[in-house]
Chains A and B, each alone.
Chain A
């Protein structure tokens, strides 16, 4: 299937063009960013800066926390069944194959995709890496170790999911959930300083081994023994975790996925709304754009994740306001050394672009989350432009919710000269990135029959295009820095880009297969 996928990609010009945009565009943009600032001095002093700010055990505990989150997430979530699709349910589950025989190819496919992403990521950061004089091979090894570490966490989550499923089958008492506490302790206790003080026991669990590799390879808290010990422990841990999952994976793996499709009540409600089978007479709004907006808003609200997002927004904003107003002495902002001040502004802008990019993922999902309903939405008696605008406005709202607290923290922690003015760039970035997300999301059903599964070039093209626009925005700011024309050029640029992207999204909506 992977081979066929590749074959179809290289024989369809539109897909190739998106790949080209993704690869060439990102490489060029990355080169431009690398030219804008020389990052070598920044990396030269970063070791001493980090060593003076935190200690060794904090690195171990922080990475241990990642494993802990994976175990908790696996226990509460869908575990490896999240990789299954409806096609697997209909084609593979009724066949005389064992669940692990389905798990292994699905997992291999996942690894191939991860490697693809890692390769592209390496390509993207190549100019930046060469500008900062970081040796490429160790960076590649570090990235590979990072992937292995993440995969071990995924497998730990899968183990915790299987344990929960098995216990659920045997015990009905709510006390069974105490196992989660036990699992969390098993993963987290070995990361505490009392354990990691012993070099042998410190390598026992993968998060410690990975922390050890990172420290040895970057030179931060390096013991001088070299990364090999950690590498061996990490690479041993991976097949062990994999084989444990393969042995544990059972019918519960199917069951958990099938339950999801059995409880798909939300979709039909959304479908009914799109079909107009919902009484809108109570609504004060009499506009298709608002209907689509409200439908998306309420269907998002029905997802448990959305509640946490709002909670994050309110708590995050409260903390950010507290920090910026009170400026507590017990939490000082990062002090940028004077010798790094020349690199501080480009680095700050880069962080700003990356933060906004991360926050704008929900814009990409605005169309993808529709899944098959996208065809229903398209066939509804709404104008394509109304649908696109509704998606765009809700995306703006969602992206703002995610970005606002982070920007608040950035304003406090990264105080550089002119940071207040630079922070205002978040507004044009959010406006443009949301439009890019909507545009790329709208193109997914043009390229594939599975509107819920964006092809790799689209998923990667999204950040590539955004970084491109981010770099352009930075260039405009640099060119018109001392000119009042900036207040005319910047809004004009943003309006033209946003309208252009939304027009492309409308065009995409009109050209579905």
Chain B
């Protein structure tokens, strides 16, 4: 409850009034003192959350992501061949590979954008082919190239996403404020998405994911792309926090420093095949000539080039 109180204290006047309206706080006076309004809202929120804990703590099914025998063909080209992958709650798994390895295709199948040619994908226990709505309900996806509707304002986009995922309005307002602060998007809330830089767009998309209540199942395709060092740092800290709270995260990247610092396990792909998987220690055992994650990667994806 303390975190909720501090979010309310950080809200500007317009946000406070919006939240007061959502809580049906009487605003009959022409003027109201900010401190008084904050106090009223806080007590209303205490009442609102008396019955249940904020951001209802549900637990993910184990495994949260289960990809079995996934093969995806585009015509005669095989993009992914026989991929088996499991991400359990409380894990960050790195999907690592060179360009064209099949990472993005894997994440698109996982997000329910395209269907697998063979095999199955289960998200939080739901088969993506059989119950796509239930499977997508807990999944957050960030694409490789961040893009969004240019004629929406950031605030409109975030509200829109909250509505699609059926986040209660009060929860959505509080969570939006929390993550807008974290990703420093305050000044851009009323900007059109079409005018945002790539980094700011990436932040807006991330806030769109975190507007939903945890625990999350995240499929992030190059999530650090375009973020400045502070944004990247905030995201890494946040992902670790989410993992510790029980979220399951699959990150596709070819930036090995990020993978090494963030991921518990790795799946290394090359030309559609899985060429290595396990923890860093297990991969070091599999590749005796390698001493770092970079050398493991090079060894498994065509050999370490001579100098």
Contacts and interface: CB of A to CB of B under 8 A. Distances in A.
Contact of B151 (A8, A93, A251, A262): A8
Nearest to A99: B132
B164 A96 contact: yes
Contact of A94 (B105, B112, B134): B112
Contact of A1 (B115, B143, B151, B195): B151
Contact of B164 (A86, A97, A259, A448): A97
Contacts of B75: 263
B133 A87 contact: no
B113 A94 contact: yes
B136 interface: yes
A450 B112 contact: no
A97 B139 CA distance: 12
B139 to A, nearest CB: 6
Given A4-B192, A96-B133, A449-B194, A87 B112 contact: no
Given A94-B111, A94-B141, A95-B165, A87 B147 contact: yes
Given A1-B152, A4-B153, A94 B136 contact: yes
Contact of A96 (B108, B134, B145, B195): B134
Contact of A258 (B113, B133, B139, B152): B113
Given A4-B192, A93-B111, A94-B141, A259 B74 contact: yes
Given A94-B139, A96-B133, A255 B149 contact: no
A99 to B, nearest CB: 9
Contacts of A98: 133
A342 B108 CA distance: 64
Interface string B50-85: 000000000000000000000000110001000000
Given A262-B74, A263-B74, A93 B113 contact: yes
Contact of A449 (B150, B153, B164, B219): B150
A262 B79 CA distance: 10
A251 B121 CA distance: 15
B105 to A, nearest CB: 7
Interface string B106-128: 00100111110000000000000
A93 B192 contact: no
B142 to A, nearest CB: 8
A5 interface: yes
B159 interface: no
A87 B152 CA distance: 12
A89 B195 CA distance: 20
A8 B151 CA distance: 8
Contact of B149 (A87, A93, A254): A87
A251 B192 CA distance: 30
B23 interface: no
A254 B136 CA distance: 15
A93 B147 CA distance: 13
A458 to B, nearest CB: 16
A90 B114 contact: no
A91 interface: yes
Interface string B229-269: 00000000000000000000000000000000000000000
A96 B136 contact: yes
A96 B131 CA distance: 10
A449 B148 CA distance: 12
A2 B152 CA distance: 9
B184 interface: no
A254 B113 contact: yes
23 contacts: A1-B149, A1-B151, A4-B152, A5-B151, A8-B151, A86-B145, A87-B148, A90-B143, A90-B146, A91-B147, A91-B149, A93-B111, A93-B113, A94-B113, A94-B136, A94-B139, A94-B141, A95-B161, A96-B164, A97-B164, A251-B115, A259-B74, A262-B79
Closest 5 CB pairs of A and B: A94-B111, A90-B143, A94-B141, A96-B136, A4-B151
Interface of B: 74-75, 79, 105, 108, 111-115, 132-134, 136-137, 139, 141, 143, 145-153, 156, 161, 164-165, 192, 194-195, 219
Interface of A: 1-2, 4-5, 8, 86-87, 89-91, 93-98, 251, 254-255, 258-259, 262-263, 448-450
